[in-house]
Structure 1
């Protein structure tokens, strides 16, 4: 049986051992936290340096891409401006050539008179053709009326003959009534229908043939009076044409002679004046063209600069938003990495503490003289209790 002093001594030793163990665990926990904090700080610094390096590389690459894109846009715009300028110059040159040709045509008396003469001839030919066409239409109308009058007369004569024949047939039928009257009437009716059908076909063929003949006559035959009238009209036109051409030739010759005299008189006096006028006109046109091109170039440059500024502003906004989004994503990812690393380090440190405590508890020598021997179940219960206390402290 243990005395009270022995019990006190055993309790004191047990408490002192537990306090030393708790103190060691506390110191180890603090040391582990300090080491983990230093490692996390170093890793955070490395990640920050890596992020800054990546941002710098990305900005340099983006600046290079933007510069190359701007240079490419400027080159394309210059090429477009050169093409537009060449196309405008070509159109202006063609327009000036057309205007010069038109002005020369308008200033030339011979060409103007020839065009007027050609127009007059065309008008006369059109009038002659209209007169001929009207006469042909009148002839066709007259022939058509004559043809239908003949057709109507033929039909009326045929109808009168048919009525007369039917009346004679009725008289004969009434006079010779007797046996076989119905058969004779039917046979006569059939013969009458066949005769009417044959006559109708003959009338249609005759009408068709007459129509073709009338059309052929309209196409081929021309009345003698019309031929005489046309010949007289053509002779009159040819005579007037020859007379007019002679008058025009005389007038043109007089005009040419007058122009030669005027040109010979003014040639000595108008050369310098014409040269000065041409020089002034050329200088004026060149200045107008230069001013127009300069104005267009200024407008194009202003539009290109505004477009480039808008593009750069849009690119800058997109870049800043992308960088902010990327930095935010990287920060969130680093935060998750930091939390996961902290959790893993805490778990690793806790595991090490538990293993060390279990090893130390197994190495503690048991004083069998102070306290009685403990069973395996009691040792496991104490270990479980110590582990729960450590969990609570952690």
Structure 2
């Protein structure tokens, strides 16, 4: 099919490249000429495993193109809205400026039959308003509309798009048959491989994404709250999580106590869902999500306090921060707990020496006051405390022997509970985890 994808951020560029991989003719659209110029050369604007290869492959073949021209993109049969919906500056609600801009620009150009599918994460009720506005603007009366939320995980986004665990499609009753038919053609390969297609109304589709992210965030905040109890009674939260995780009603995934969640999705989705629930008078959901967010924020304070306690009484203390991205296999430092704690330590007068395999360029743009090192060993030189902040394989594989020589003090804070405490303690290190004995 001829597909247009509006927005070439994390979601849009991944979706565009994967649609080309599935055999479609794809054009990606963005208002940023510099980004479009980079993409036209087949260069990835962000680090995501497998994405750069797909961009090079399909820009070279001509199946994937990029442009700033809405007029050129308007000729497509299917239009995906994949722009960002960040948190508003004045509230916890989602900022729909980019979504509305796409509709206002694209709508008047739709002179032939087409289907428009939203992928951006939006507050429930947005899709109805967007569909109505689109049809006011479009010269063609034959415009199908639906919402097709994304469920990508940074670090596995290409795999998640090519082989999703489900496809959710929302549409009004009058549009549902047509939109479903188009979606079956777009995702024909995934459906042939057995991926479930869930068709529903617009509101349910919108809620599916924020409900999924909020549930995952709740699991993380729950286990972090239990970790606080474990610290108080000298229990081990990792063993506890293993024990309850065997219950298939609970599951072990996302029951990892530590620094908490971050990134561009979970924090803002939780807050936006809470804000929308408050608007709707759904106080139980709003109160629950408020607690989830507060527990998550407290984890950052706990780890920063642990590090400052380790440096207590030391003149000109120095901390090694290993990992800056919000999760491994990504260069994303947006709302990164690791970078937030590093900045707090620097504000408190600690000299921070930081290292990350892919996130340092983005981190330095936000926090140039930190010292960025070219290796983990360089970051640990003269350190009074070492903080493991992102569970990159390169960090998990470090040994006590490797770090013992460069550090000033053998004090380790494992903020992701990804190391073996016994190994480090047996090597003469003071080990501190989150909720671990």
Same fold, judged at TM 0.5 (above): no
Interval containing the TM-score (normalised by the shorter chain): under 0.3
TM-score by length of 2: 0.14
Structure with max Cα Rg: 1
Higher strand share: 2
TM-score by length of 1: 0.15
Higher helix share: 1
